[in-house]
């Protein structure tokens, strides 16, 4: 069984701009199912395309299954079967032995930058980078699936 244990944080824009970071990857994703207890997502990136199924979140843990699919299939699913979409640039940054994924959103979520950290357990400890600010792990507004239907610009 696949499990995702994830913490989410907002990012200080000034410190983020000053940070020496690797090249980001473009992500475009849409949702085939977007319900409180399950999400089915299609994602197209510079490096591949994926179908992801996520269950209900309990704390910061939820079931997650992800499968690579043909790029052409993913584009067709995005164009013909998904409702709202989001676009972002994802940066992968190592900090004190942990891999942080930082999403810089565009479109209707322009101005939003979220740092995510996947953990092995909810009790796992880590050190925050100085460019990370407020934790939003338990604020459902920041779930990508919710950002697709209630974007940051509307808050």
Reply yes or no on whether 50 is catalytic.
Answer: no
Query: Which entry of 27, 31, 50, 91 is annotated as an active-site residue?
Result: 31
Contact 37, 54 (CB under 8 A): no
Q: If you ran DSSP here, which 8-state letter would residue 13 be given?
A: H
Rounded to a whole number of angstroms, the distance between the first and last alpha carbons of the chain is 36
35 class by beta-carbon count within 10 Å (0-12 exposed, 13-18 middle, 19+ buried)? exposed
71 neighbors 46 (Cβ within 8 angstroms)? no
Which residues, 6+ apart, have CB-to-CB distance to 109 below 8 Å?
86, 88, 147, 151, 152, 153
Residues with catalytic roles: 31
């Amino acid at each position: 069984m696949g499990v995702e244990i994830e913490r989410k944080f907002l990012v200080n824009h000034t410190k983020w701009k000053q940070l020496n970071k690797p090249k980001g990857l473009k992500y475009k994703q849409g949702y085939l199912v977007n319900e409180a207890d399950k999400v089915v997502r299609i994602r197209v990136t510079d490096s591949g395309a994926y179908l992801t199924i996520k269950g209900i979140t309990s704390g910061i843990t939820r079931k997650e299954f992800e499968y690579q699919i043909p790029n052409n299939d993913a584009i067709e699913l995005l164009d013909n079967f998904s409702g709202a979409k989001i676009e972002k640039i994802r940066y992968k940054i190592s900090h004190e032995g942990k891999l942080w994924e930082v999403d810089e959103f565009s479109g209707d979520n322009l101005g939003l930058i979220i740092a995510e950290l996947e953990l092995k357990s909810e009790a796992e400890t880590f050190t925050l980078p100085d460019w990370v600010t407020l934790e939003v792990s338990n604020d459902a507004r920041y779930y990508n699936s919710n950002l697709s239907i209630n974007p940051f610009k509307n808050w």
